[in-house]
């Protein structure tokens, strides 16, 4: 079976989806499925055609052409994609939906190739409109997966006609080889990991910090990641007088994330936007870290309130401070939550379950095309 795996960015980019995709492809290749990756160029200077881990990579300047409204370049890319599909003859195109490169997939639709769309982002209500790219693509796909119940519910509410060809597949993540260590409480260490953009709400965590430092003077906060909000966050920390308690460590190599998580007492995910899933919450759970997260998107499904962490309302530094205080003041409760989180990370969000779910879907879609 041949799968053309389409994703906005791929290794060496290292967002949650990018790293997950690389592990996922390696796992299914070991089961005999042949993969090709179609992806965007991003900002790095990378070749159009490449190979990583034995997987052919085809890069296109999708977003650059669409963003520049360059109709000629759009058509040239469209032709290259059509030629590629024709040459590779995949059984399935597996599109990971997070960007408008979907336009090029839809424009090069081939009847005998099955189309699987995995939704990795909160859907806008405009999906209901058939004059939208998302609306057309989702209705035309042979199958749709959502990575959380919240996103699947959104899809079925916005576009009820997709109910018969959509299902939930929770994200999984390979269990790291590094074992989880004991939670440190002296000093307590908070961790935020992700892109430094407004939507992640790391500014809310900084706003909660003065209250927390009054109760736990030795507390430290590490913010791992980078992005356009970094300067503003550094300024905010300085203005709040908490700069000495905050470490901005930049991007962290994916291989180093488990070790980083091991340094934390708990992980905070103060997101404002509807996180489709929240992969960092799963990674934290794997390392037996309790998580304080906001009630947005799929996060309350990954973090079970009162069991594996605490869920708070978004946009509330005081709610964040209260939840963090509760866990830091009751170390036994925090440790128990971490252990339960670790257990669920291996059962409900297990890696093998995730890989098997897609292997079954691939098989079913390929067989349906043969009938």
Partner 1 sequence: MMSSETRFIPNTSEVAAEVLDGEAVLINLTNGMYYSLVGTGGFIWSLLEGGANVNEIVSALVVQYEVKAEQAEKDVRQLIDDLKTEALITDSNQEGGALPSDAPAQRQPYEVPSLKVYSDMQALLALDPPMPDLTDAPWKQPNAKA
Q: Which residues bind to partner 1, rule: CB under 8 A?
A: 8-9, 11-15, 17-18, 42-44, 47, 50-53, 63, 66-67, 69-72, 74-76, 78-79, 98-100, 102-103, 107, 121, 124, 126, 129, 131-136, 195, 197, 199, 226-228, 250-251, 253
Is 349 in contact with 285 (CB distance < 8 Å)? yes
Cis peptide upstream of residue 190 (ω within 30 degrees of 0): no
Cα separation of 302 and 276, whole Å?
Answer: 10
For the bound state, the minimum distance from the C-beta of residue 58 to partner 1, rounded and expressed in Å, comes to: 13
Block residue for tokens 């300024």: 235
For the bound state, the minimum distance from the C-beta of residue 129 to partner 1, rounded and expressed in Å, comes to: 7
For the bound state, the minimum distance from the C-beta of residue 187 to partner 1, rounded and expressed in Å, comes to: 28
Nearer to partner 1, 126 or 369 (CB): 126
Nearer to partner 1, 9 or 308 (CB): 9
The 309-312 sheet, strands edge to edge: 246-250, 220-224, 189-193, 266-269, 291-294, 309-312
For the bound state, the minimum distance from the C-beta of residue 215 to partner 1, rounded and expressed in Å, comes to: 34
Nearer to partner 1, 108 or 308 (CB): 108
For the bound state, the minimum distance from the C-beta of residue 311 to partner 1, rounded and expressed in Å, comes to: 24
Cα atoms found within 13 Å of the Cα of residue 250, Cβ hemisphere only: 1
Block residue for tokens 């042949």: 34
DSSP string, 17-85: HHHHHHHHHHHHHHTT-EEEEEEE-TTS---SEEEETTEEEEEE-HHHHHHTT-HHHHHHHHHHHHHHH
Nearer to partner 1, 69 or 112 (CB): 69
Strand-pairing partners, residue 93, are 4, 115
For the bound state, the minimum distance from the C-beta of residue 49 to partner 1, rounded and expressed in Å, comes to: 9
Q: Is 174 helix (H, G, I), strand (E, B) or coil?
A: coil
For the bound state, the minimum distance from the C-beta of residue 139 to partner 1, rounded and expressed in Å, comes to: 13
Cα separation of 202 and 271, whole Å?
Answer: 7
Nearer to partner 1, 120 or 308 (CB): 120
Nearer to partner 1, 126 or 181 (CB): 126
Strand-pairing partners, residue 328, are none
Nearer to partner 1, 175 or 197 (CB): 197
Cis peptide upstream of residue 12 (ω within 30 degrees of 0): yes
For the bound state, the minimum distance from the C-beta of residue 17 to partner 1, rounded and expressed in Å, comes to: 7
For the bound state, the minimum distance from the C-beta of residue 100 to partner 1, rounded and expressed in Å, comes to: 4
Closest CA to 287 of 173, 194, 149: 173
Is 292 in contact with 323 (CB distance < 8 Å)? yes
Nearer to partner 1, 52 or 110 (CB): 52
Nearer to partner 1, 43 or 186 (CB): 43
For the bound state, the minimum distance from the C-beta of residue 195 to partner 1, rounded and expressed in Å, comes to: 7
Q: How far is CA 290 from CA 92, 308, 310, 317, in A?
A: 38, 6, 8, 18
Dihedrals phi, psi of 266, to nearest 5 degrees? -155, 160
Nearer to partner 1, 83 or 153 (CB): 83
């Amino acid at each position: 079976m041949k799968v053309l795996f389409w994703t906005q960015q791929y290794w060496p980019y290292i967002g949650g989806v990018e790293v997950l995709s690389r592990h996922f492809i390696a796992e299914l290749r070991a089961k005999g499925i042949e993969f090709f990756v179609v992806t965007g160029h991003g900002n790095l200077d990378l070749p159009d055609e490449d190979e990583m881990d034995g997987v052919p990579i085809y890069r296109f300047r999708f977003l650059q052409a669409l963003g520049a409204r360059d109709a000629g370049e759009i058509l040239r890319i469209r032709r290259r994609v059509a030629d590629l599909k024709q040459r590779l003859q995949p059984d399935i195109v597996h599109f990971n939906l997070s960007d408008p490169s979907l336009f090029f997939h839809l424009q090069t639709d081939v009847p005998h190739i099955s189309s699987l769309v995995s939704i990795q982002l909160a859907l806008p209500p405009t999906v209901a409109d058939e004059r939208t790219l998302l609306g057309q693509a989702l209705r035309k796909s042979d199958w749709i997966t959502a990575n959380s119940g919240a996103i699947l519910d959104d899809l079925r509410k916005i576009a009820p006609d997709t109910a018969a060809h959509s299902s939930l597949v929770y994200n999984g993540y390979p269990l790291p080889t590094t074992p989880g260590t004991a939670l440190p409480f002296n000093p307590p260490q908070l961790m935020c990991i992700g892109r430094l953009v407004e939507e992640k709400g790391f500014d809310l965590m900084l706003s909660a910090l003065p209250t927390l430092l009054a109760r736990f003077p030795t507390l430290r906060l590490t913010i791992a990641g980078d992005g356009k909000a970094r300067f503003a966050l550094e300024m905010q920390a300085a203005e709040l007088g908490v700069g000495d308690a905050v470490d901005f460590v930049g991007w962290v190599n994916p291989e180093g994330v488990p070790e980083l998580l091991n340094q934390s007492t708990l992980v905070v995910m103060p997101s404002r936007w509807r996180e489709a899933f929240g992969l960092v919450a799963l990674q934290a759970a794997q390392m037996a870290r309790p998580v304080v997260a906001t009630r947005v998107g799929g996060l309350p499904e990954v973090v079970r309130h009162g069991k594996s962490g605490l869920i708070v309302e978004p946009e509330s530094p005081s709610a964040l401070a209260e939840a963090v205080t509760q866990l830091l003041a009751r170390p036994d409760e925090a440790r128990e939550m971490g252990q339960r989180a670790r257990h669920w990370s291996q059962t409900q969000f297990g890696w093998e379950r995730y890989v098997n779910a897609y292997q079954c879907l691939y098989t079913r879609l390929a067989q349906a095309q043969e009938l």
